[in-house]
Structure 1
Amino acid sequence: MSRVDGTDERYVVGIDYGTLSGRVLVVRVRDGAEVGTAVHEYRHGVIETALPGGGPALPPNWALQDPEDYRDVLRHAVPAALADAGVDPSRVVGIGTDFTACTVLPTLADGTPLCQLPDLRDRPHAWVKLWKHHAAQPHADRINALAHERDEPWIGRYGGKISAEWQFAKGLQILEEDPEVYQRADRFIEAADWIVWQLCGTETRNVCTAGYKGIRQDGRYPAKDYLDALHPDFVDFVTKLDGPLLPLGDRAGSLSARAAAWTGLPEGIAVAVGNVDAHVTAAAAQALSPGRLVAIMGTSTCHVVNGTDLAEVAGMCGVVDGGISPGAWGYEAGQSGVGDIFGWFVRHAAPAGMDSHERLTELAAAQPVGAHGLVALDWWNGNRSLLVNHDLSGLVVGLTLATRPEDVYRALLESTAFGTRMIIEAFVEAGVPVTDLVVAGGLTSNRLLMQIYADVTKRPLSIIGSAQGPALGSAIHAAVAAGAYPSIHEASAAMGRVDEGVYRPNPADARAYDALYAEYRTLHDHFGRGGDDVMLRLRAIRNAAAVTVQADTEREVVG
């Protein structure tokens, strides 16, 4: 491995594609120093009500995006980050990317998104389905039921349930609701792999999304007879997924002339294999060792941890060989709503004068544990782990006329910590050790929230030493793809950073939280495991009402 001195520094670019924007980081190869950054907000954001060109309202639980917004990040944010860094582009040796997942799109054989074809632009199923598109829950339910009925060997690797967010559920929804779009799609590809295709002109698939989101285990996808039993026309679905599969840290190709013109980077530099925002962060947080769980906390939370042995954990998102880093079994779980829940309360429920996270946190921090008399369930956006049901909803129990906004806010903070403890305990009970936590993401700045997590989980909590963990992780993978380091582990040791043991459990508060957690578990199992399906019934009533309103609106427009 060659080293660089102060007169011959090399740099890499990491791009983190989030839910609302793309963030670019220019990083020095030698030590991971972050020398320049830029953010580009997606022009269309999340498409939830109607397509950009207008037309009928989208049904409930839809979340789409425009792939051109992703290319705009290359055109605008990469040059801006280079300018911010003051780095000569000729010094850049590689570029790496990560994406929210499962975010997928149907394309032609050359990678052209179907939503960019004039005759399909008004067809919702031709657009990118964002990770939080949850309208495929009925299709996920059928996928799971049939897998258990047939005793499919892969279902246990996903905790017994495939999520409505994953590739197969979204693909089956397209087939059954718009078969023409399904047939026109030559490829069905993760945005993580599509953007790499745009950068280097070569289609590749990464082992991370293929394993966690695409049900690829032990070198194969689900068998054709299983897919035929789901729907006879679904047999060819794996042909839309099957492309060159590469391990994380590999070189997917070289930056094309077209992408070089977009970004201002040199043609021919290394383009790293695509990755997922959560999984790539483990390298940035120096958390590749088994037992060190990384919680990437933002609008949602993803939990990833390496293990030495294969285990099946009920309700987890998946376990994949090399899914986080080569040579280890990578485990994933998650919560579909975290920061989104707190944001909902501030925007829609907090009164004027208290409608800020800072003010509510200040007031909530003054309370002893349990003083609000509340317990909440963290299902405002459904449950990803351990119940894997996006038709579930939020709940707050214990409200009285004495309840104040800061009480509810603290209960919501605590509910997400309880959800994380459920996930940790599921890992440990299945034989996957979790020794400590490293937290990354925008929520690390809330000291109250971080202390609550340490107290509830009874584990020391470290904080990633970068405000842009995923982008730094992508830059680390770019350095490996460019040959600057021989492995992700060595690049992580040199370029990653973490502040160790910033938060320690308070023994008295941890004991007090045990009592609240016991109540959380009772509610969790009652409403999530068949004690009372009232949440599911209410969701069905809401969806039926929304369909009626949409039909009435369309009739009025036609009239």
Structure 2
Amino acid sequence: MSVNIEPFNVTAVETPVTVGIDFGTLSGRAVVVSVADGTQLAEAVHEYRHAVLDRTLPDGTTELAPDWALQVPDDWRDVLRNAVPKALALAGVTPDQVIGIGTDFTACTVLPTTAEGVPLCELPGLAGRPHAYPKLWRHHAAQPQADRINALAADLGEPWLARYGGKISSEWEYAKALQLLEEDPELYAAADRWIEAADWIVWELTGAESRNLCTAGYKGIHQDGARPGREYLAALNPGFADFTAKLDHPLSPLGAQAGTLTARAAAMTGIIEGTPVSVGNVDAHVTNAAARALDPGHMLAIMGTSTCHILNSDVLAEVPGMCGVVRDGVVPGLWGYEAGQSGVGDIFAWAARVAAPESYAEEARTRGLSLHELLTEKAAEQPVGGHGLVALDWHSGNRSTLVDHHLSGLVLGLTLDTRPEEIYRALLEATAFGTRVIVEAFEQGGVPVGEFTVAGGLPKNRFLMQIYSDVLRRPINVIGSEQGPALGSAIHAAVAAGAYPDIRTASTAMGRINLAVHTPDHDRADVYDRLFAEYRELHDHFGRGGSDAMHRLRALRDAALTDRTEDDQ
């Protein structure tokens, strides 16, 4: 249901604009956008002071176990305090021109709060408790809980499981909450609310809790108006029986108005109190409107540290290994499908950090290039298959279609002659192969994929995008904005303010897309077909039961680290 609020009087504002705020993994950005045609007037970025907590808490002494990834809520407030006023100043607009505010967030980034929305990590005495902090989307330490959630649901024939491709991810709400209960039951009891950051930031802006249909459906196991039943949850853990009470709240449709800006939020942002705020959304899903990728069969890949694949369809089907399918999950009237890859840009960053020697770094500095640019340049000089390598893109586990975050990366074919740029290229290709697995899973599951569009930071790498076009044998469209999620949030804000009747109309007016920017070369594609066959063999061998070596190695690592910690104590 939506909040019953009168539409903003858009016609009374001269040259109206909206503000879109995108909360990413390492930073938040604000854009000021013309409501008339989506022209971006200004943008501002604010880096999170604490970035990602994956080794210690802010105190610098409380260590975190492997696979943990946390964030600090005040870093998000700093985006409101800094990026929004700066973007407004750069745009040269006055606060009265802002008719609406929209936000989006990484997901599933979820946090425990009090009934008033105060994060537990901000309460006296709790700053040293890891479970009091928001768990970032790439927090993968709840895999054992996810395994139990999936096994029990399969045994009991829970009807919602098929809507998630047969497996709930360790990244999603229920697995992370079950980990909280089992590792810090006192904090679990203190958490009145378990809420997506996408909804929490709207709470900060409006002063009232709201919940969006998107995160509830994809991350919170909400299907056909219901969540998992009490008996099922109790079977997982008796203390988990009433978990759904921490989530329960009326759900608002996308593009609706969640409320209006409070005096406190107005002071932070420099925007007038009472300005409409749209319902929260996920960074990937909101980008579809920015890229005009709302029609059935139009897949959008949002490529950054990870990749999310969003596809609308008028067909409801069970696609193994997808992240979820939700009615009206992206745009009203269609089934919205989500799939994804847990590591993409993160893998390239790892390769640049680990595989490139100092001589490469020195060459990059001398030539005024980034290490990524140098490695890409050298990799582009190779013929397809010339490195003799094939890699698996599982450094952060596999989100789709295997849904297993205890899988790990692999590079096969290394010799004493293998060069850093060859490893780098093999990893670029591996992520393209992972996307092809996802596209083929949808098509084999009866959900056609027609157009393919990319957004995010990685499409700037034209060589990478040519690899994707060749591997997929498809033309690739590119979003016409470098700030796709923020533009998408600004579009939703325009709908919430009443400037447009619906998301589709606003997307047509304000969205941006460049068609067929990259087209496949069929000779290269033929060779990539052969490489993909090798990738698929390794994918199925290590991911579908041929070898459990990756899981055993992880268990051996965890045991060794646990023993070392106990010895230190």
User: So what's the TM-score if we normalise by structure 1?
Assistant: 0.98
Residues 409-448 of structure 1: matches in 2 within 5 Å? 409-448=424-463
Counterpart in the other structure of 1:52: 58
Counterpart in the other structure of 2:327: 321
Residue 89 in 1 paired to residue 104 in 2?
Answer: no
Q: Is the 8 A contact 1:4 1:30 kept in 2?
A: no
Out of 481, 488, 497, the position equivalent to 1:466 is 481
SS of 1:154 mapped into structure 2:
helix
Structure 1 position 551, deviation (Å)? 2.3
Residues 12-161 of structure 1: matches in 2 within 5 Å? 12-161=18-167
- Counterpart residue type for residue 112 of structure 1: V
Structure 1 position 352, deviation (Å)? 2.1
Q: Is the 8 A contact 2:278 2:492 kept in 1?
A: yes
Aligned-residue CA RMSD in angstroms? 1.4
Counterpart in the other structure of 1:255: 261
Tell me how far apart the structure 2 counterparts of residues 81 and 18 of structure 1 sit (CA, whole Å). 17
**CA offset digits 1:63-94 (Å, max 9, x no partner):** 00111111111011110110111111110000
Structure 1 position 49, deviation (Å)? 1.1
**CA offset digits 1:121-170 (Å, max 9, x no partner):** 21110110000000000000000000000000000000000000000000
Q: Is the 8 A contact 1:200 1:254 kept in 2?
A: yes
Q: Is the 8 A contact 1:57 1:550 kept in 2?
A: no
Structure 1 position 6, deviation (Å)? 13
- Counterpart residue type for residue 446 of structure 1: N
**CA offset digits 1:207-263 (Å, max 9, x no partner):** 110000000000010011100111111111110011121010000001111100110
**CA offset digits 1:245-291 (Å, max 9, x no partner):** 10100000011111001100011111000000000000000000111
Q: Is the 8 A contact 2:295 2:312 kept in 1?
A: yes
Residue 402 in 1 paired to residue 417 in 2?
Answer: yes
Gaps of 5+ in 1: none
Q: Is the 8 A contact 1:342 1:409 kept in 2?
A: yes
SS of 1:110 mapped into structure 2:
coil
Out of 157, 175, 181, the position equivalent to 1:175 is 181
Counterpart in the other structure of 1:266: 272
Counterpart in the other structure of 2:403: 388
- Counterpart residue type for residue 390 of structure 1: H
Counterpart in the other structure of 2:234: 228
Tell me how far apart the structure 2 counterparts of residues 358 and 70 of structure 1 sit (CA, whole Å). 30
Tell me how far apart the structure 1 counterparts of residues 239 and 196 of structure 2 sit (CA, whole Å). 21
SS of 1:343 mapped into structure 2:
helix
**More displaced, 27-36 or 364-373?**
364-373
Q: Is the 8 A contact 1:56 1:550 kept in 2?
A: no
**CA offset digits 1:364-384 (Å, max 9, x no partner):** 111111111110000011000
Tell me how far apart the structure 2 counterparts of residues 347 and 155 of structure 1 sit (CA, whole Å). 39
SS of 1:543 mapped into structure 2:
helix
- Counterpart residue type for residue 20 of structure 2: G
Tell me how far apart the structure 1 counterparts of residues 60 and 358 of structure 2 sit (CA, whole Å). 34
Residue 480 in 1 paired to residue 495 in 2?
Answer: yes
Residues 258-407 of structure 1: matches in 2 within 5 Å? 258-355=264-361, 356-407=371-422
Question: Would the alpha carbon gap of residues 443 and 303 (structure 1) be closer, same or farther in structure 2, given more than 3 Å must change?
Answer: same
Q: Is the 8 A contact 2:21 2:31 kept in 1?
A: yes
SS of 1:216 mapped into structure 2:
coil
Tell me how far apart the structure 1 counterparts of residues 567 and 34 of structure 2 sit (CA, whole Å). 58
Residue 522 in 1 paired to residue 557 in 2?
Answer: no
Tell me how far apart the structure 2 counterparts of residues 13 and 550 of structure 1 sit (CA, whole Å). 47
Q: Is the 8 A contact 2:278 2:493 kept in 1?
A: yes
- Counterpart residue type for residue 48 of structure 2: Y
Tell me how far apart the structure 2 counterparts of residues 195 and 280 of structure 1 sit (CA, whole Å). 16
Q: Is the 8 A contact 2:8 2:276 kept in 1?
A: no
Residue 213 in 1 paired to residue 228 in 2?
Answer: no
Structure 1 position 547, deviation (Å)? 1.5
Tell me how far apart the structure 2 counterparts of residues 502 and 344 of structure 1 sit (CA, whole Å). 28
Tell me how far apart the structure 1 counterparts of residues 143 and 213 of structure 2 sit (CA, whole Å). 25
- Counterpart residue type for residue 158 of structure 1: Y
Question: Would the alpha carbon gap of residues 6 and 200 (structure 1) be closer, same or farther in structure 2, given more than 3 Å must change?
Answer: closer
Q: Is the 8 A contact 2:500 2:506 kept in 1?
A: yes
Tell me how far apart the structure 2 counterparts of residues 231 and 472 of structure 1 sit (CA, whole Å). 42
Tell me how far apart the structure 2 counterparts of residues 517 and 6 of structure 1 sit (CA, whole Å). 57
SS of 1:98 mapped into structure 2:
strand
- Counterpart residue type for residue 250 of structure 1: A
Structure 1 position 7, deviation (Å)? 9.1
**More displaced, 543-552 or 369-378?**
543-552
**CA offset digits 1:26-66 (Å, max 9, x no partner):** 00100001001111111111011111123331111100011
- Counterpart residue type for residue 278 of structure 1: A
- Counterpart residue type for residue 171 of structure 1: A
Residue 542 in 1 paired to residue 557 in 2?
Answer: yes
Question: Would the alpha carbon gap of residues 160 and 7 (structure 1) be closer, same or farther in structure 2, given more than 3 Å must change?
Answer: closer
Q: Is the 8 A contact 2:8 2:497 kept in 1?
A: no
- Aligned identity (percent) is 66
Structure 1 position 3, deviation (Å)? 11
Out of 179, 204, 216, the position equivalent to 1:198 is 204
Tell me how far apart the structure 1 counterparts of residues 184 and 231 of structure 2 sit (CA, whole Å). 23
Q: Is the 8 A contact 2:299 2:309 kept in 1?
A: yes
Tell me how far apart the structure 1 counterparts of residues 50 and 62 of structure 2 sit (CA, whole Å). 17
SS of 2:56 mapped into structure 1:
coil
User: So what's the TM-score if we normalise by structure 2?
Assistant: 0.96
Paired residues, number: 554
- Counterpart residue type for residue 45 of structure 2: V
- Counterpart residue type for residue 393 of structure 1: S
SS of 1:383 mapped into structure 2:
coil
Tell me how far apart the structure 2 counterparts of residues 478 and 13 of structure 1 sit (CA, whole Å). 7
Q: Is the 8 A contact 1:15 1:96 kept in 2?
A: yes
Question: Would the alpha carbon gap of residues 7 and 132 (structure 1) be closer, same or farther in structure 2, given more than 3 Å must change?
Answer: closer
Structure 1 position 552, deviation (Å)? 2.6
Structure 1 position 2, deviation (Å)? 11
SS of 1:396 mapped into structure 2:
strand
- Counterpart residue type for residue 369 of structure 1: V
**CA offset digits 1:388-425 (Å, max 9, x no partner):** 11111000011112211111111000000000000000
Q: Is the 8 A contact 2:306 2:343 kept in 1?
A: yes
